[in-house]
Amino acid sequence: MYLGVLKKFENQMSMEEENQNNFKENILMVTMKDLLECGVHFGHQTRRWNPKTKKFIFGVRKNIHIIDLQKTLRYFRYTYNIVRDASAQGKSIMFVGTKKQANETLKEFAESIQVPYVNYRWLGGMLTNFSTIRKSVRKLEIIEEMENSGQIDLLTKKEKLMILRKKEKLDKYLGGVRHMKKIPDMIFVIDVAKEKIAVAEARKLHIPIVAPLDTNCDPDLVDYPIPGNDDAIRSIRLFCKEMSEAILEGRELMQEEIVHADENSEEIEYVSNEEKEEMLAEIQKEITQGAE
């Protein structure tokens, strides 16, 4: 099953690569030098590998699997365009990464492009029971409204302290998804082995998953994998940066389409008004002639 899925994915990549105009300009695209400098090629110890990642492994050095960066580069470019095109279609993309090496970097990039994110802890049902999550977000908003209106100052010290602690906890868990009105159309995950619950929920709801694929991960769980180190801070930063840029580029393309559509609609509207004026003039002429 895995080989069939992977073969299909690679065929899609080959078709995509036939049209080089769909890629970012080479000067802006991630390079082999970037991958090497960020340590993307370092996998896990050989004893911790997932045999399904064999296809992406170049070799072994000091009991560490070395990832084939030629394949990483190829998958990176293809996946970049998948994310870009999803963004251009107005699809929402969520960032997920809760481990220590990833949480601050992931939050930084997610907030910079204003996408929902989870960087502290994934709450069960974040996707599959989204209505309950929205209720919890509403509680956070109500507490903030109480603060802003001064209503919270009418409570006893103990009550106020309890509510503020509740607010702090809700913000820590849900701050990154408070503006998310519906489940995302795609999720970008750092470390699918760690974020098992998030991955399981996304797969249950058929939400595509984009993720770095380290040598201890299961490729079957990822729709759009990028073979690479998902533990090193610099590597994580590179993945977050590229996915953020893909989303931004997609938004620019969508905006261009909107402007183009508006220009066309304005032109059609102008012609339509002109026709209406001509028809109105003809009607007035007919009325005048009839009166004579």
User: Distance between CA 74 and CA 77 in Å, rounded?
Assistant: 5
- For residue 272, pLDDT over 80 is answered with no
**Domains defined along the chain, listed by start:** 2-127+183-254 (3.40.50.10490)
Confidence of residue 26 (pLDDT cuts 50, 70, 90): very low
Q: 3-class SS at 206?
A: coil
In this predicted model, which residue has the larger pLDDT, 75 or 273?
75
16 Cβ neighbours under 8 A, 6+ residues apart:
22, 78, 81
Q: pLDDT tens digits, residue range 141-182?
A: 999 999 999 998 998 999 999 999 999 999 999 999 999 999
User: Distance between CA 28 and CA 9 in Å, rounded?
Assistant: 24
In this predicted model, which residue has the larger pLDDT, 20 or 261?
261
Residue 273's pLDDT is 64
Number of H helices, E strands in the chain: 8, 8
**Among the listed ranges 55-69, 79-93, 208-222, 275-289, which one has the minimum average pLDDT value?**
275-289
Model confidence, pTM? 0.80
Q: What is the mean pLDDT of the chain?
A: 86
Of 100, 71, 107, 117, whose CA–CA distance to 228 is shortest? Answer: 71
